[in-house]
Amino acid sequence: MKHFVLIALGLALTMTRAAADPAGDFVQARQAAAGHLLTGTSVAGALRQPGSYSGHVVETTATVSGMISAGDDRTALLTIAGGESLALSVPANLRGASWLDSGAQVRVLLAATADDPALSSGFRLVAVASEGDIVAADAASARKAALLTASAKGGRGGSLASRSLPMRRGGRRAVVYFADTNPGHPAGALSARALTIYAPYRSLVRRWNRRLSDSDVDKITTSILYFSDRNNIDPRLPVAMIIAESDFDLYSTSHSGAMGLCQLMPENAREFRISNAYDPVQNIGAAVHMLRGHLDSYGGAPANAGLIPFNQIALTMAAYNAGPGAVRKYHGVPPYRETQRYIKKVASLYRQMCAGDMPQPVK
């Protein structure tokens, strides 16, 4: 039985048109591996001990760090998301693909075949496609599934459901979106504009906290982009805030009881009717909604999620960290050392990203 999945994968790839649709080939190979596919936290174990996972297929992201050509053969040097490096033979139908070159961000399917002495790495490269193409393909599939589900439920649409929540300011009401119980691939909720920037944001989240599972990286990235879109906020501000608050630690808890990625206080969780403050979707959704409220209080969010002036960032983050009451009391940023350090860190990270220099995690 352990070779069954490899035979099925071989048949799936043989049936596809050579190099015509790498993403389609990838999805078809993934479907053929159903029941034997390893993702998320299982990937690290398989990469360390492929012999224990013979007959299984690993799906993970990777960066092409180099290509070696020898006659008709082509070998890809891959750096896997977790930091592992592999040298793998490129399938014949992709050896002429111009997009498969050094620096490319890709999604790979690796068949664990440690019993094959010809494969020193313990893996065979079954399928590879551009990371962006797979994200888009999964998003399209999720949208289709959501429409079918909505039709079956009598018209309840979309992969995200909405709840109308009261805002304290002026009796105005706003809409905050929380995940449905079965949303499918989270990127299915993103707009076309958000999908175009998904890859670099996902890469930043992955690089900053390598302990996160692929599923959690997707949820965090999607939530940042989705809620920023909904609230018309430059997504670089929530990213900077999350780094300053928790370094993308899902289960971070402060001595004062602040919870999760965005360090929501218990009263915030109650206000937003959050069932699990450590759930990244609910946590980020409430925090970005709060950011938008603070931005409105101190000059309004720039049109089309444009760049946010430093003074507005300072007041917004002071209100988030110390509370709007403290900002009112001191007619500006309060003289709290912790709050001032926090503002400086968030503003510095935001400026780095605006300058095109993605911040690096502190070693």
Amino acid in position 223: S
Q: Measured between alpha carbons, how far is 106 from 108 in angstroms, rounded to an integer?
A: 6
Q: Which of 131, 245, 267, 271 is catalytic?
A: 245
Using DSSP, state whether 314 is helix, strand or coil.
Answer: helix
Q: Measured between alpha carbons, how far is 356 from 362 in angstroms, rounded to an integer?
A: 18
Q: Which tokens go with 350?
A: 């935001």
Q: Measured between alpha carbons, how far is 290 from 168 in angstroms, rounded to an integer?
A: 11
Q: Which tokens go with 151?
A: 């039709």
Nearest alpha carbon to residue 29 among 13, 7, 6? 13
Using DSSP, state whether 124 is helix, strand or coil.
Answer: strand
Q: Measured between alpha carbons, how far is 338 from 180 in angstroms, rounded to an integer?
A: 37
The reply to whether 84 belongs to the active site is: no
Find the DSSP H helices in the chain: 4-14, 22-32, 42-48, 131-152, 192-196, 198-208, 214-231, 236-246, 266-271, 280-297, 310-322, 324-329, 337-354
Q: Are 187 and 137 in contact (CB under 8 A)?
A: no
**Phi, psi angle pair for 180, to nearest 5°:** -65, 165
Q: Are 106 and 60 in contact (CB under 8 A)?
A: no
Q: Measured between alpha carbons, how far is 128 from 130 in angstroms, rounded to an integer?
A: 7
Residues identified as active-site: 245
